[in-house]
Structure 1
Amino acid sequence: MTGEGIKECELIEWHIKEGDVVAEFDRICEVQSDKAAVEITSRYAGTVRRLCHEPGAMVQVGEALLEVEVADEPEEEEDAAAASALGPMPPVQQLAPAEQAVKREQAGLAATLASPAVRRVAREHGVDLASVQGTGPSGRIYKEDVLRLVEAASEEVPGPSLQHKLPEQRAEQLSRPAPSAAGLPAAAEDVIIPLRGYARTMVRSMTAAGAVPHFHYCDELDAGPLLAARALLASDPALGGARLTFLPFVLKALTVALAEFPVLNSSLSADGKALLQHAAHNIGVAMATPTGLVVPNVKAVQGRSVAGVAAELARLQAAAAAGRLGPEDLAGGTLTVSNIGAIGGTYASPLVNPPEVAIVALGRVREVVRPAPGGGFMTASVLAASWGADHRVVDGATLARFSNVWKALLEEPRRLLLHLR
């Protein structure tokens, strides 16, 4: 199962090759949806005849992943070949070649048996599917059939042709004025990058976040005691080898403050008529990965110790780096932490991750000179915190009071000892 509501997935990796013999439920490939990475298993036992897609291709749910020759069932070979691990193939009417041509003529189409992915390739190259001879069952057109025609056309017409550009590119190139300066180096060609996986999820979530009226609140806290506590406990055996950053303290302090201000751990109904206050504090941590930003969450932080939070964060970070986060790691978040300071910067204007109502962005810890209590000056380690909240749910005074409670716990981390689980 690829997940409810998923329409297409990116093929990440094949675990088999053409000619391999597979058994039912053997691993065949890994796909990445906009929610999580999923391993697909074989629905049939037999010999792999053809892999229908290259790694990196977008595969529609219902489209064939590979062709499998099923042993002892030769009369059903084509049906098995069309089987897809992402879901059942759309029904294909089996017609004789002459009858098929008549049907296509009557419909005004030279080729109708082509998957959405093949049609997209044809559009990208400006190819009319009516001119393509399909080599699949019942004249079905494969991507290779389209590309073969494109290669033949490129051999006849030297140089790049606007005919094989996207419509948007053709219009832009036709309207672009010729360069007036001579001797300038040629610029690289424009690149169209499809948004997939986590990058596409970010487009959707931030579009929704843009519709939320935000209230932002910023403050600074003295990070000296927090850094000292981390240094003291970094090698403690209770961590089980997990690296101790200040994030576990941040999350633990948040869950203590949320117990006092549960409105920050809630979500607003779609019609805006009800507020759901969540019992579990599932605090998300934004993580940068090679495929985009992802926000897995530590489940039930209120029931974990600082060491327990550190261990779970280490697991999530390793899974995110390897692209192995599961749907359960990403679902159910109730508040988000963005540690942008690990890269740089001080303040930010973070947007909530709907349906959550609050987010905090942490800046980098920096050394500043401040007046000392007894006179003179002193150096202090300062951490900037930038809050963003859904102003329909959280008013400014509530957010400020909540932040003050959280800040006091981090400035005196020994107080967290009173809230250990």
Structure 2
Amino acid sequence: MADVLVPDMGSDDPVDIAEILVKEGDSVQEEDSLAVIESAKASLEVPSPAAGKIVKIHASVGQSLKTGDVLMTIESSDSGSSETTEVTDNQANGIDSVMEKGTEERHDAPESASTGDVDVLANADQTFNIPDIGGDAADVIELSLKPGDQVKKDDTLIVLESAKATVEVPAEADGVLVKYEVNVGDSVSEGKPFVVISVAGAKSAPAEKPAQQEAPKQASAPAAAPQQASAPAQTAAPAAPLNTNSLDVNLSSDVHAGPAVRRLANKLGVNLGLVSATGPRGRILKEDVHAFVKSELSKPKATGAAGGTGLPALPEMDFSQHGEVEEVSLTKIQQMSAQNLHRAWVNIPHVTQFDEADITDLENFRKSLGEEFKKQGVKITMLAFMIKASVHALKAFPK
């Protein structure tokens, strides 16, 4: 027997059981995902430490556990030993203290730089790299902000997804987001630059080596004016065009779902933004995806109704039998207008409106033409004038 324990998520805070992916009696292979656990900053799939059979599940969805608590018991297929096997940090894709490690590494560089002649100035643009994510690579599934947004320390900048975990990468300093160096869908690894932030309130340069720095300071005095002149341009930099790869272009990125559920949705071609969640805290489960697919397949298919009118589509007609035909392409607005007007004509009850007009002069003119056209065997009626008026109106407004 082997017990599967809650792995170290880099914090002493309890983690929640978001999803249990197996049932008692199921056969599993080594590294198969058994459950999904969540902390405040990461979602992790717990893998099976060995191949075997699920004997007992000790936790339930929504339950809060701590590191080392027993999740389930597996009867190993290759040995009957009763030793307890703990899921190691490497099996957990190195999620342990991803955020803390990244922060420590980021702060090491400025300290070493401060011992030299140059240090980070206030409001300077700084490029931040991907922290240790415990694996070879991960995919960018969400850009949580957009250029020009104010950033506070520990705000989520991007969301990464590896084969076993979803990780939110936090900001390490306050400032303004200048630009992203990655896009949604990119594959990234530790050390890759991913964001540029104009950091506010950074440390100023140390007052060391005054004799050596005196001459450079004097020489840089003439350049002070150009730097001041460029200040408005730097201030206006955050107003750059929005990143079209940010959150609003990907409907599935703003949902609460684990890596396994996202892989299933991608395989089935399901937009997770349309799936109703039944899991704890609005989490989408595999069952939700299957239920969505089932409901979509059970919907009656379109029966060829014409433009949503509920009537059969009109048969194709050969208008050339009545004379020469000229085909003219319509704009999108004209196509939509034609469909909507036809639907309204078919479905909406219509009434006739009567307007009164003084046609005394027109009637006198019509009568004056009567004798002239009578000789030609033609009788002039009011219909002729109405048709002529319609022709002028159609010429003035052909579309």
Whether these two folds match at TM > 0.5 is: no
TM-score (norm 1): 0.28
Q: Which has the higher helix share?
A: 1
TM-score (norm 2): 0.29
* Higher RCO, Cα 8 Å, sep 6+: 1
